[in-house]
């Protein structure tokens, strides 16, 4: 009965949403696949807002990528609760927005996720994008689809309903192998290696990344995000926005970084805390470890390197293999702390392991408070019951930085 009621709600709201899109005609950029969607969306939003001053650009500050979330994003609804009265208020608000004459934005950037076969049919009936972007498919995370091929069949529905162009991540082997079979307007991104270096400017760390036509100095340090910066400039070209190709290091591309995605904080004695607690996919684990090692080698060569690693989740029968691979990437360290049962089981027994974030941070805090050495410490985590950011919170030098960590809103605080 509940599913039937939800279906009625979804389709009723979708009906008004289609009318709203048809009436206001925004330019829609739609991001999907299953790795990197939020980072890609926020970077594109930041870059477009920097260079396009005569149009209103909107993307939801929330990670709304479900059927209902997409509709709420379109109507700029950023908070809601599952109460009947709340849903009724939202329904009347959407009806009112649908028929009023004000246009809320010119360019809309959406993030779409699907959980089950058939989800995409609903989404493409709500809105067809002008540009669609496929980030990367993580081959373990197929769950209800069972195979990558089933995900591909579902996602291709988005490509087939894209008006202008589809961008595909060249690094994704699955997309690369099917590129020539696609009878649509398409373009690869991330198909050339992007050179970069870390620089310390007045005690602020930046990346200087070299694209073919422009060198960019930015506060974004996570190398997995550099292709999304490049992609944002491709989209600017699609929109006929001219960007000066001259190198100007004073013109910093300052982008709003997402919490838990390579954010840097300080501890006593100028030690560095690297917050990567948003999630912990095996590939992102490996890339983040490489990034921190590079940061230490380039900027902090005298610092000791520590890793605080939580279990990787949703790996099913691949857990043993992937945790053992992870450990092989962690050999270059001065201290390794792990939390929870998977790392306890699959890492060597001499590794310092804890079963709670609280015990881990008490141990870590005691060492830091009694040491004169300088450290660069990576906190890397996977969601669901293990909240690594709570350990990181206890060792921040500036307590005001707590708000910059993941999952600090009322919903998550109550859940923790």
Domain termination residue (choose one: 148, 174, 200): 174
Question: 337 or 116: whose pLDDT is higher?
Answer: 337
Round to the nearest angstrom and report the end-to-end CA distance of the chain.
Answer: 31
CATH of the domain at 326: 3.90.190.20
pLDDT digits (tens, 9 = 90+) for 284-322: 889 899 999 999 999 999 999 999 998 888 787 888 999
Q: What is the pLDDT of residue 1?
A: 66
Are residues 168 and 269 located together in one domain of the fold?
A: no
- pLDDT-derived band at 372 (thresholds 50, 70, 90) equals confident
Q: What does the alpha-carbon distance between residue 223 and residue 294 come to, in Å, rounded to a whole number? A: 11
Domain total in the chain: 2
Decide if 406 is inside a domain: yes
Asked whether residue 382 carries a pLDDT value surpassing 70, the answer given is no
Are residues 40 and 163 located together in one domain of the fold?
A: yes
Decide if 93 is inside a domain: yes
Question: 310 or 145: whose pLDDT is higher?
Answer: 310
Q: What does the alpha-carbon distance between residue 107 and residue 45 come to, in Å, rounded to a whole number? A: 9
Kindly report the CA angle at 284 between 404 and 29, in degrees rounded to 5? 75
Asked whether residue 165 carries a pLDDT value surpassing 70, the answer given is yes
Per-range mean pLDDT, top range of 101-115, 222-236, 364-378: 222-236
Question: 84 or 167: whose pLDDT is higher?
Answer: 167
Q: What does the alpha-carbon distance between residue 120 and residue 116 come to, in Å, rounded to a whole number? A: 9
Q: What is the pLDDT of residue 283?
A: 82
CATH of the domain at 163: 3.40.1190.10
Asked whether residue 275 carries a pLDDT value surpassing 70, the answer given is yes
Asked whether residue 3 carries a pLDDT value surpassing 80, the answer given is no
Q: Which residue has the tokens 């270096």?
A: 197
Are residues 268 and 156 located together in one domain of the fold?
A: no
Asked whether residue 247 carries a pLDDT value surpassing 70, the answer given is no
Question: 349 or 277: whose pLDDT is higher?
Answer: 349
Q: What is the pLDDT of residue 67?
A: 82
Q: What is the pLDDT of residue 79?
A: 80
Q: What percent of the chain has pLDDT over 70?
A: 93
Are residues 153 and 274 located together in one domain of the fold?
A: no
Are residues 267 and 387 located together in one domain of the fold?
A: yes
Domain termination residue (choose one: 174, 206, 233): 174
Are residues 275 and 388 located together in one domain of the fold?
A: yes
Q: What percent of the chain has pLDDT over 90?
A: 46
Asked whether residue 131 carries a pLDDT value surpassing 70, the answer given is yes
Q: What is the pLDDT of residue 325?
A: 93
Q: What is the pTM of this model?
A: 0.89
Among 216-225, 267-276, 343-352, 391-400, the range scoring the smallest mean pLDDT is 391-400
Average pLDDT taken over every residue of the chain: 86
Asked whether residue 113 carries a pLDDT value surpassing 80, the answer given is no
Domain termination residue (choose one: 174, 202, 226): 174
Is beta strand 204-210 parallel, antiparallel or unpaired with respect to 195-201?
antiparallel
Are residues 144 and 271 located together in one domain of the fold?
A: no
Decide if 229 is inside a domain: no
Decide if 281 is inside a domain: yes
Decide if 310 is inside a domain: yes
Q: What does the alpha-carbon distance between residue 218 and residue 206 come to, in Å, rounded to a whole number? A: 6
Among 92-101, 274-283, 302-311, the range scoring the smallest mean pLDDT is 274-283
Decide if 52 is inside a domain: yes
Decide if 54 is inside a domain: yes
Q: Which residue has the tokens 């690297």?
A: 274
Decide if 118 is inside a domain: yes
Range of the domain at 169: 2-174
- pLDDT-derived band at 196 (thresholds 50, 70, 90) equals very high
- pLDDT-derived band at 327 (thresholds 50, 70, 90) equals very high
The stretch 86-106 carries a mean pLDDT of: 88
Q: What does the alpha-carbon distance between residue 388 and residue 380 come to, in Å, rounded to a whole number? A: 7
pLDDT digits (tens, 9 = 90+) for 21-70: 999 999 999 999 878 898 999 999 999 999 999 999 999 988 887 888 89
pLDDT digits (tens, 9 = 90+) for 332-366: 899 999 988 999 999 999 999 998 888 888 898 88
Are residues 158 and 288 located together in one domain of the fold?
A: no
Q: What is the pLDDT of residue 357?
A: 81
R_g of the chain, CA atoms, integer Å:
22
Q: How far is CA 236 from CA 45, 86, 332, in A?
A: 11, 38, 41
């Amino acid at each position: 009965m509940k599913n039937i009621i939800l279906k009625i709600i979804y389709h009723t709201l979708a009906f008004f949403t289609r009318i709203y899109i048809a009436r206001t005609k925004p330019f829609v950029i739609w991001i999907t696949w299953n790795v990197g969607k939020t980072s890609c969306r926020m970077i594109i939003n930041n870059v477009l807002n920097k260079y396009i001053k005569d149009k209103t650009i909107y993307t939801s500050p929330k990670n709304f990528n479900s059927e209902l979330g997409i509709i709420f994003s379109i109507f700029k609804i950023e908070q809601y609760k599952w109460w009947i009265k709340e849903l009724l208020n939202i329904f009347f608000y959407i009806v009112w927005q649908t028929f009023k004459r004000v246009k809320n934005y010119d360019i809309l950037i959406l993030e779409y996720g699907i959980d089950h076969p058939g989800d995409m049919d609903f989404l493409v009936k709500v809105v067809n994008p002008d540009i669609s972007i496929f980030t990367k498919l993580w081959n373990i995370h197929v769950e209800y689809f069972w195979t990558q091929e089933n995900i591909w069949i579902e996602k291709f529905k988005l490509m087939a309903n894209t008006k202008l162009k589809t961008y595909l991540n060249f690094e994704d082997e699955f997309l690369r192998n099917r590129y020539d079979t696609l009878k649509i307007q398409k373009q690869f991104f991330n198909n050339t290696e992007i050179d970069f270096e870390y620089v310390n400017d007045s005690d602020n760390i930046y990346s200087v990344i070299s694209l073919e036509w422009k060198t960019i100095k930015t506060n974004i340090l996570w190398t997995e995000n550099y292709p999304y910066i490049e992609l944002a400039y491709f989209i600017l070209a699609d929109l006929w926005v001219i960007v000066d190709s001259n190198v100007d290091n004073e013109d910093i591309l300052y982008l709003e970084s997402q919490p838990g995605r390579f954010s840097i904080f300080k501890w006593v004695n100028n030690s560095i805390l690297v917050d990567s607690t948003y999630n912990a996919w095996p590939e992102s684990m490996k890339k983040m470890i490489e990034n921190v090692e590079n940061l230490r080698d380039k900027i902090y060569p005298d610092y000791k390197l520590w890793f605080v690693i939580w279990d990787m989740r949703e790996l099913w029968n691949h857990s043993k293999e992937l945790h053992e691979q992870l450990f092989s990437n962690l050999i270059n360290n001065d201290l390794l702390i792990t939390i929870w049962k998977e790392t306890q089981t699959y890492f060597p027994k001499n590794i310092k392991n804890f079963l709670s974030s609280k015990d881990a941070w008490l141990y870590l805090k005691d060492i830091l408070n009694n040491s004169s050495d300088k450290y660069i410490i990576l906190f890397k985590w996977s969601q669901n019951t293990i909240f690594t950011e709570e350990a990181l919170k206890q060792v921040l030098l500036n307590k005001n930085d707590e708000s910059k960590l993941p999952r600090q809103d009322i919903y998550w605080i109550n859940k923790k």
